Chains A and B, each alone.
Chain A
Amino acid sequence: MKANPGGQIDLKAVVGRDDVIEQIWETLEQQSIRMNAERRIGKTTIIKKLCNEPKEGWLPIFQDLEQYHTAIEFAASISREVEKHLSSSKQAAKLIKKFLSAAGGTEVGGVFKLPKFENDTPWKEVLCDSIKGLVEGCESAELRPLFLWDEVPFMLENIKNRDGEQVAMEVLDTLRALRQTYESRGLRMILTGSIGLHHVIKSLKRSSYANAPVNDMLTVAISALSEESAQELARRLIEGEGISTEYIDETSVAVAKISDGFPFYIHHIIKAMKRSGEEGSVELVELIVSEQLISPEDPWELHHYTDRVATYYGEEHKKSVLGILDTLALQSDSISVNNILTELKSMGILDDRDLLIELLKLIEQDHYLARNNEGRYEFQFPLLKRWWILARGLED
């Protein structure tokens, strides 16, 4: 297999995710899942693998939701998926017939023509009835429907922009209600996305949205690959690229370590090694990473970590967040909340302990930081820390 940073990975060649996939299937026995992870860690690959290789008794339906910009578009897509997945079930036929009469579609010679969904068709009704039909249809086939939804936050943002915040909130609430109604009958959902769902919900909360629409879902954190799996992935890619090396083990170990186990970075490093034409070695790995971290073209897209601060935390907190991260970047070890506060106070950046704790929580959710058992904070990913120091000019 060749290195393919950013592309679609052959699901048969996915490395190191068997455990988390197993964990997900186990969890789904009980409840729906909200998948939380830093970008580029392989969430989409995981849910696609879940869809491609379902456990017995499940009917997985994968959808990339960013393409939908209104609630009715979303609901209509569910309706079409239901149509696709249920054959000649009576329930499905009844459902379609109902829609036909409600939405003015035409039945011609026993061939159903899908109704035209106008924007004033009640999307909630479409959504709820489609899910109901799916659940009932699956029950008769002794299957459980599993929606694997990618880029949920993008869709919510789109709906918020087009239909308004109220509708976006209602979509979340409706999905929750559907889960609660049909969970005992096997319905499950996995929600995931490139930006944190918590940011979307937070932005809705600013418009006095008080609900907790995903608190019924278990948050499954997708971590970076284990050291072993990262090494295996690196090795396979080195071999797949035909990179000449006498030190494949050492090189794979070096790649795994320096990449913090992110498949995306592993792919990037191996590709850069191939393009260099040099023999694979630990030194080459270090050289490549050093070059990529300071490259003005930012091939690893790390500038996002600085660029997004204002968007995620608001202009009013930008300085504080940058100050927190700068402070942590300069620590060789984890640091307590009190010490962080002391540092920020001395710099005149922040002196509100409660606000600091709140920001730390958000920053942790966004995977900049990790908190250990003693409650001390440090950068979650050494690679990110290394880059942060360079990007922010914090080196000596």
Chain B
Amino acid sequence: MTLHNPISVFTPSRSNPEDLEAIMVQRHDLLTDAVERIEESASTDNKHHLLFVGPRGTGKTHLMTLLVHRLSTTPNLRIAWLNEDETSTTLIEFLLRIYTALQKRYPLGFSADDVDPIYDLPPADAERELIQVLLEKLQSKSLLVVVENLDALFEGLGKEGQQKLRAFIQEHPVLSIVATAQRLVEGISKRSNAFFGFFQVENLKPLTVEEAAELLSNIARHREEQELADFIQTSVGLSRIRALHHLSGGNHRIYIVLSQFITSKTIDLLVEPFAKMIDEMTPYYQERIRWLPPQQRKIVEFLCNVDRPATVKQIARRLFTSNQAISSQLKDLKGKGYVQAAQRGRESLYEITEPLMRICVEVKENQNSEPLKILVDFLRVWYDGVELSSLLEGCKSSNSEYAYLKSAISKNEEQGSLRVKLLVDCFRGEVGLSEEDEGAQLQTIASLALIHEGLGLGYGEWISGQKAQAITLIREIADSDKLEVDTRAFAFQCLSLFHMEDVNYDQALDVLSMALDLPLGGSSMESSLEERRADCYIYLEMNKEAVVTLTGLILRDDISEKHRDEYIYKRSEVYSKLECTELQIKDLTFLIDKASTSSVDLLSRYYFSRGHAYLINDENNYREDFKNLIQISKNEACTKEEFGVYVFTVLVAVQNCAWEEAFFILKTALERAKSSGLEYQVLIPIMIKGFFDHTGGVIERELVVQGLLRAYSDNGLVLELVEELITHLGILLREGGCLPENEILEGWATEWEAALSSYTEASISLRIFRTGIEFLKAGGEDRSVLLSLHQEERRILEQVFQLED
């Protein structure tokens, strides 16, 4: 392979075929298949006619060049590759083009002198004469006619010319046609027309991201830039290409132009060919749009000018028309190949099919000396902010490069990093979360991507479920000694989070140790890592190590007071696990004394924890703490700690048979929880259990039931009460030991049925409760008892009793 031969952007036919072979992607099978068919056409009377359809820039000429190259030595075959810029309006003109092409390729076999006499004949005679000369010169060989822009040829020939051409082919079965077209034209697609069904049609597809990456890699390799070729195939490289893909739409030609820039890093090599490409194509696209009905034209122009695909609603809004009208026009435009649709959930998003059309229209709309937007966007994708600034510094202000770099930097400042934006877009919708949660995750991707693209990408892969890929990618970043220490530390931290999420705390610790071995120089990163390590120790119940780590953090000078208080609180929790109650109380006392009275949430937490610690230590101080907690909370929303205190207080009252006190506190607790929207239900079954356990005889039971019902009904929570009664049945089964006696269970159920008899809305729940009671009375094993319920109701009890399927 010759080194550094340029790949001709606009005329692949001028490139070295071996070079084109080396860089080809996606179409190996297609090309091999086409070659085999033409070889068969050459050696038998089975004549194939092939048509490759694709918009501008999809690599048709590249394909033709390789096809002709591979067939050039096929025996018994003559190839006439027609000049795509010429046109024919009659059969004779077309045949002359064929002859001329054969003359160029086979000068000895096809001489201009042999056809000269026909110019003196009338057209019809000349046509017949030329056919005879052509057939004679072919000497029984087969003829392959390669025609680009078949649509233009058919347009030129018109119906009559097409019919004559087809008749010629039918009457002289010596030729195969391989053609390209930008779209299927009427001559091929309409059944009443001559060439309908004549060709084997292949619709050329745009490149996928992976194929685009392969193409650019191949080109880089061709230019002996192995490092670049390898980089493109990495996850980060692919992510970069994915971002470019958004701009290029998978168009071959755009990628070939980009490749020149990517391999040489010279912006001029980007600007000039792009400008030339746009100059060449704009008249064609203008023409295509001009012939559209007015509203369709407006839709196309709108879509050319927006940054991303648009919904029917968005288009209708901007064009001041109805959704129905737009839908109908879009259907037509889709049929004509102007637009394509993609699904996002239940809605369809529309965009222009041909990226080159979009680019050309946009350029035409913004006719001034401003840098081309798409090229500025390419720079924003390919380079990060630091790289752009560095390039700008090394550039003279008089260069066109300077203008582009400056524009890229300004755009990033105004609109944010495009690379990050496109990276985030890749993961939008793939994360499978609620809209709110997705928003938070995508923000994390963006934030990480600003530190390092690979971090954002890796995190995105992780939340999309590609865990192994995510770990590999982030690990590469963490291990890379070419990167800044902070970036590597972030990578280690990400890894530790991944491991912790997967409940691999040992691995998380290993990774954190590696991170802390980096020369972090006492940075804030170090404290983040230590905190993460402390969390791992806590999860692994390595409590002593956790205390040491947290103490180390508490003593640091470079942390905020808020963080310090968090560490102290965490340490107090660990002291609780170590049963070092005094140390726990000491930490909590420090926090309580320090906390501002306005920090109700924090104080609630501290008072609750200390109160709990006092309780464990059999110290009466707990009452004071709980009282303080209730006091400071009264003007604020109820916290779970506050509710926990209420539950505790209720249980204490129940133990002391202080029923009225218990009901009053319960009512207050429910009122507070309901008004604050607190999810308190997890604590209630414990409380119900407390009432149940201390309920002695029938009278007491009636008292308890009435009291509980009053407390709940005063808060409009009767249905919730019955649900909690049902949940409590699960606790009765699971807490181990013996089930309550049947008499007690029956009494409990009967009492509740009587109390709730007037609450019709609770009847279904009551039925489920009763069945639950019967199940427990039958020993808590016989599932047939549940069959008295419908399936959905049965499922509730199966969940409560944790019965396996």
Contacts and interface: CB of A to CB of B under 8 A. Distances in A.
B199 interface: yes
How many of chain A's residues touch chain B, expressed as a range? 35 or more
Contacts of A5: 197, 200
A11 B194 CA distance: 22
Contacts of B128: 80
B122 to A, nearest CB: 7
Contact of A1 (B44, B171, B196): B44
A275 B33 contact: yes
Interface string B695-735: 00000000000000000000000000000000000000000
B76 to A, nearest CB: 14
Interface in B116-174: 122, 124-125, 128, 160, 163-164, 166-171, 173
B191 A277 contact: no
Given A10-B46, A65-B167, 9 more contacts: A2-B36, A40-B197, A64-B166, A64-B167, A66-B167, A67-B166, A114-B125, A158-B160, A308-B191
Given A9-B46, A271-B200, A64 B36 contact: no
Interface in B181-195: 184, 190-192, 194
A13 B46 contact: yes
A12 interface: yes
A44 interface: yes
Contacts of B171: 62-64
Contact of A7 (B190, B194, B200): B200
A362 B168 CA distance: 32
A44 B47 CA distance: 14
Given A2-B37, A275-B29, A301-B197, A8 B167 contact: no
B201 A8 contact: no
Interface centre among A4, A7, A114, A271 (most CB of B within 10 A): A7
Interface string A157-179: 01000000000000000000000
Nearest to B191: A304
Interface in A291-314: 297, 299, 301, 304, 307-308, 311
26 contacts: A1-B40, A2-B48, A4-B46, A4-B48, A5-B197, A6-B49, A7-B46, A7-B48, A7-B49, A7-B198, A8-B173, A13-B44, A39-B191, A39-B197, A40-B197, A48-B173, A63-B171, A64-B171, A65-B167, A66-B194, A69-B163, A76-B124, A158-B163, A297-B203, A307-B190, A311-B192
Given A4-B48, A277-B29, A66 B173 contact: no
Nearest to B127: A67
Interface of A: 1-2, 4-13, 39-40, 44, 48, 62-67, 69, 76, 80, 114, 116, 150-151, 154, 158, 195, 264, 271, 274-275, 277, 297, 299, 301, 304, 307-308, 311
B174 to A, nearest CB: 10
Contacts of A62: 171
Contacts of B169: 8
A5 B49 CA distance: 9
Contacts, number: 100
A262 to B, nearest CB: 12
Nearest to A295: B203
B579 interface: no
A195 B201 contact: no
B45 A66 contact: no
Contacts of B47: 4, 7-8
Contacts of A151: 167
Interface string B8-51: 00000000000000000000011001001100100011111100
A269 B292 CA distance: 36
Interface centre among B36, B169, B170, B190 (most CB of A within 10 A): B170
Given A6-B197, A7-B47, A66-B163, A301 B33 contact: no
A307 B186 CA distance: 13
Interface centre among B44, B166, B173, B200 (most CB of A within 10 A): B200
B46 A2 contact: yes
Interface residues of B, number: 39
A11 B46 CA distance: 8
Nearest to A301: B197
Nearest to B335: A296
Given A44-B170, A64-B167, A301 B201 contact: no
Contact of A297 (B164, B194, B200, B201): B201
Given A6-B198, A69-B160, A275-B29, A64 B170 contact: yes
A149 to B, nearest CB: 11
Contacts of A2: 36-37, 40, 46, 48
A358 to B, nearest CB: 23
B33 A274 contact: yes
B40 to A, nearest CB: 5
A116 B126 CA distance: 12
A24 to B, nearest CB: 19
Interface centre among A4, A39, A114, A301 (most CB of B within 10 A): A4
B168 A67 contact: yes
Interface centre among A13, A64, A116 (most CB of B within 10 A): A64
Nearest to A264: B197
Which 5 pairs show the lowest CB-CB distances between chains A and B? A67-B167, A304-B191, A64-B167, A10-B45, A10-B46
B48 A307 contact: no
A9 B160 CA distance: 25
A96 to B, nearest CB: 15
A314 to B, nearest CB: 15
Contacts of A39: 191, 197
Nearest to B169: A8
A388 to B, nearest CB: 16
A330 to B, nearest CB: 25
Interface string B494-510: 00000000000000000
A150 B167 CA distance: 9
Contacts of B125: 114, 116
A394 to B, nearest CB: 20
Contacts of A11: 45
